[in-house]
Amino acid sequence: MKANKYLTKEELNNLKHILGKYSKERDAIMIQVALATGARASELLSIKQSDLSDDQHAIYLRTLKGGPDRMIPIKKELFQQLKALGPIPFPITYNRLVQIWYNYRPVKKNFHSLRHSFAMNLYDRSKNVRLVQRALGHKYLSTTEIYLQYTYTVNEMKKALLIK
Give tens-digit pLDDT for 22-60. 989 999 999 999 999 999 999 999 999 999 999 999 999
> Contact at 8 Å (CB) between 35 and 106?
no
- Bigger pLDDT: 34 or 3? 34
Q: Considering only CA atoms, which of 114, 78, 80 is closest in space to residue 5?
A: 114
Over residues 72-114, the pLDDT tens digits come to 999 999 999 999 999 999 999 999 999 999 999 999 999 999 9
pLDDT band at 151 (very low <50, low <70, confident <90, very high): very low
In the chain, where the domains are located: 3-161
pLDDT at 2 over 90: no
Instruction: Report the alpha-carbon distance of residue 14 to residue 7 in Å, rounded.
Output: 10
**What residues pair up with 71 in beta bridges, in sequence order?**
60
Instruction: Report the alpha-carbon distance of residue 93 to residue 103 in Å, rounded.
Output: 16
- 30 in helix, strand or coil? helix
pLDDT at 118 over 90: yes
Q: Could you tell me the end-to-end alpha-carbon distance of the chain, in angstroms, rounded to an integer? A: 28
Average pLDDT over residues 120-135: 91
CATH architecture of 3-161: Orthogonal Bundle (1.10)
Average pLDDT over residues 137-153: 75
The pTM assigned to this predicted structure is: 0.88
Average pLDDT over residues 154-160: 63
